[in-house]
Amino acid sequence: MDNNQIADHFSLLSKLMDIHGENTFKSKSYSTAAYTIEKLQQQLSTIPIEKIATINGIGSSSALKIIEIIETGKLNSLEELINKTPKGVIEMLNIKGVGPKKINTIWKEMEIETIGELLYACKENRLKLYKGFGEKTQQNVIETIEFYFKSKGSYLYAQVELIVPEIESFLLKIFNSQKIELTGAYKRQLEIIDQLEFLIEDEITTIEKTLLHVEGFTLKENGTGYLLYSTLLGIDVKIYIANKINFIEESIKLSSSDEFWQEIQKKRSLIEATPTTVEHFFQQMEIPTIPPYLREQAQTIQQFSKNDPPKPIEIEDIKGIIHSHSNWSDGSNTIEEMANAAISKGFEYLVISDHSKSAFYAQGLSIDRIIAQHQYIDELNKKIKSFKIYKSIESDILNDGNLDYPNEILSRFDLVIASIHSNLKMNEEKAMMRLIKAIENPFTTILGHMTGRLLLSRPGYPVDHKKIIDACAANKVVIELNAHPSRLDIDWRQLSYALEKNVLISINPDAHQIEGMNDVKYGVKVAQKAMLPKERNLSSFTLDQFEDYITSTTKEKTKI
């Protein structure tokens, strides 16, 4: 059991206690313990048992439970609560805006035990009749449940990435020497994956005979030339069958969108020779090989046909970490630890962008703490050679569109990332007003996660992407491509217009701990789909280039 798993046990215990209306003081102490455990730098399993209770934020009762989890792998008090709670009630914890105490009302007073029943009750206007629920809350619950149902069975690219090698290895093992190729949405680097798809060179009858004897797979023939299997790992795996002659063409087809493939077929209509390789396939049409991540739109084929397309950004092109948090706000590591980690990973600079004062839930920085942090960064920069830590802030865009500090404070930062974190339930008019006003602020350097979306959890607020991009172009504001796998915001589908308007993009990890720096690769993967060149990505600037950009931009934007 690592710290995250132990913290999850305490968090769920606290929520279930509230759902059952048990001792509020105890449930709050377990919630505090969960938060403390999640932030610990050292694994609890490596700490002497007698010292666990001395950790600030963990009392003697929580310490005993931690020891029980470490020694047995479970928590009896939690299992007892789970066993006496309907599964549907526990599932309600996935519905944003419906906390444990409201779930208690839904379950105990409304006698509703599933999300489906709750949705039906909302559609009949029954939820708003109960204390603590109003018309607005009821509508929010409807929208959240419908989004939740739509998202079930889908996964983030980063989640699937962890199991792809296991499934690929497993298939190679059971099919021995057969040719197996990964295809589908994962191969195209899409941000949401519904299933994994593989192409196997074999006969259908052979595949059937093999998989019917493999434990954990269920054969589902669907009559469209392929077989569908469901794995114990929780994600569907489709297996397509091809022979030696059509294997190459099928592999390209299965790694292309329908739109792209239909356009390809028009160009191939007069070609009869069987391609021997993927490169040969595209050579027949007299165009460079188009990688799977670009096989989305028909226009890509025209781009490749006319001239040499731009070389998309690679992970090696990222030179600095822009947008990171330290333990001065809600990060897990010190600024020095973040800097040393960035240096060890080969980066040339680090931009510390802790939360601003309105983000009280994230220990946002008061003005006094900003001054202290800047002094600390100055001291660190004197010690570090050939590397620089930049002073930044992730300034909240307030309800009226203003940033979270007066100009005299904003002017102290090397750069400002402006982001919305509060009052996310907005119509487009309200969202656009806040965003445009923030973009027009002369101290805004980067617009952070444009829509505030959380993939598979929360849809973004409605925006007019083109108007925002136009505003960023007019005000020389960089648009963040937040690389956290749950965000990937701005959406890659909007990048082509940003490039057309000559707006810089910045692939930023929004790292809250050292490991979070690695998320830049997910931003790069989706940026590749829009053919973003490294020259148009701010975090690909070298230290000298970045320094020049920040200096010149600041002077130009703030001059009177």
SS3 of 327-358: the string is CCCCCCCCHHHHHHHHHHCCCCEEEEEEEECC
Same domain? For 123 and 16 the reply is no
For the chain, what is the mean pLDDT? 90
Of 232, 433, 417, 263, which is closest to residue 325 (Cα–Cα)? 417
Q: Tell me, yes or no, whether 196 and 279 share the same domain.
A: yes
- Give, as one character, the DSSP assignment of residue 274: P
Residues 285 and 401 in one domain: no
Q: Which of 50, 85, 120 is the C-terminal boundary of a domain?
A: 85
The Cα–Cα gap between 320 and 342 comes to 8
Question: Containing domain of residue 45, as a range?
Answer: 1-85
pLDDT over 80 (residue 269): no
Band (pLDDT 50/70/90 cuts) for residue 558 is low
The candidate with the shortest Cα–Cα distance to 353, out of 425, 426, 404, 423, is 404
Question: Measured in whole angstroms, how far is the alpha carbon of residue 311 from the centre of its chain?
Answer: 25
- Cα(324)–Cα(517) distance, rounded to whole angstroms? 8
- pTM over 0.85? The answer is no
Does residue 92 belong to any structural domain of this protein?
Answer: no
CATH of residue 18: 1.10.150.110
**90 lies in a domain?**
no
3-state secondary structure 211-272: HCCCCCCEEEECCCCEEEEECCCCCEEEEEEECCCCHHHHHHHHCCCHHHHHHHHHHHCCCC
Q: Are residues 124 and 147 located together in one domain of the fold? A: yes
Which of 85, 119, 141 terminates a domain? The answer is 85
Domain-ending residue, one of 85, 107, 131:
85
pLDDT of 240 reads 87
**How many residues are listed for the chain in this entry?**
560
Q: Is residue 254 part of a domain?
A: yes
230 and 344 part of one domain: no
Q: Are residues 408 and 485 in the same domain?
A: yes
- 403 vs 111: which has the higher pLDDT: 403
Mean per-residue pLDDT for 256-266?
93
Mean pLDDT of 324-350: 95
Tokens for 456, please give them.
């598979």
| Residue 91 resides in a domain | no
Instruction: Look up the CATH number of the domain holding residue 533.
Output: 3.20.20.140
364/509 same-domain check: yes
Residue 209 inside a domain? The answer is yes
Which pLDDT does position 559 carry in this prediction?
60
Share of the chain above pLDDT 70, in %: 95
Same domain, 334 and 474: yes
Residue 339 lies in a domain: yes
The answer to whether 230 and 217 have CB atoms below 8 angstroms apart is yes
Q: Give which of 274, 271, 272, 261 is closest to 301, Cα–Cα.
A: 261
Task: For residues 178-187, give the mean pLDDT.
Answer: 92
Query: Is position 442 within any domain?
Result: yes
Q: Note whether 509 and 372 are same-domain residues.
A: yes
CB 455 within 8 A of CB 191: yes
CATH number reported for the structural domain that contains residue 163 in this entry: 3.30.460.10
Query: Please, are residues 498 and 489 in contact by the beta-carbon 8 Å criterion?
Result: no
User: pLDDT grade, residue 223 (50/70/90)?
Assistant: low
Residue 271 maps to a domain: yes
Strands of 118-233, DSSP E: 155-156, 180-183, 192-193, 195-201, 218-221, 226-230
Per residue in 280-309, pLDDT (tens digit) is 999 988 899 999 999 999 989 988 887 677
Tell me, yes or no, whether 444 and 504 share the same domain: yes
Number of domains making up the chain: 4
Q: What is the mean pLDDT of residues 65-79?
A: 93
Domain identity same for 341 and 477 = yes
Q: Are residues 446 and 333 in the same domain?
A: yes
Which tens digit of pLDDT belongs to each residue from 201-212? Answer: 887 777 777 777
CA 486 to chain centre: 2
Write down the pLDDT at residue 560. 43
What are 117-174's pLDDT values in tens digits?
898 888 878 888 888 888 888 888 998 888 888 777 888 999 899 889 988 888 888 8
